[in-house]
Amino acid sequence: MDGTSEQNAEDRLNEFQRATEQMLSAALTEVGGGIDGRHVGGKHEAYVECRLAGTDLRIFIYEDGAEVSSGPQSKERVHDQFEKSDFRSLRELSEAFVRRAATRAADWRAARGL
């Protein structure tokens, strides 16, 4: 993907996606984690996809939802979905998702003595 295509993809992200990603990054920093392999995808709906650094956990931030899921080779199956219909607001959804993702990252690190 060239720089122009990457910029166009970034432009398609909405405020919820941008705010959630910023909150996630801050929360992961607090637990000694971070984000790897970030990219923006989607033809009809833009989404952010990345990995919790040092884990096989994948993150997806959609236009009005998010999820944490384990990679295909993981021994532990994880699939935490956060959908708009389950929350009073997107802000509430974002906060719940970020808490869960940070907890998953911290638990993964603790289980491995990191």
For the entire predicted model, the pTM comes to: 0.88
Q: Provide the percentage of residues in the chain whose pLDDT is more than 70.
A: 89
State the chain's mean pLDDT as an integer: 88
What are the Cα distances from residue 26, in Å, to 3, 34, 84? 26, 9, 22
Q: Can you give the pLDDT at residue 113? A: 75
Assess contact for 68 and 100: CB atoms under 8 A. Answer: yes
What are the Cα distances from residue 60, in Å, to 2, 5, 76, 83, 114? 22, 20, 18, 12, 24
pLDDT tens profile 37-90: 999 999 889 999 999 988 889 999 999 999 999 877 767 788 899 999 999 999
What are the Cα distances from residue 11, in Å, to 2, 31, 103? 14, 29, 30
Q: What is the mean pLDDT of residues 21-50?
A: 93
Q: Can you give the pLDDT at residue 5? A: 53
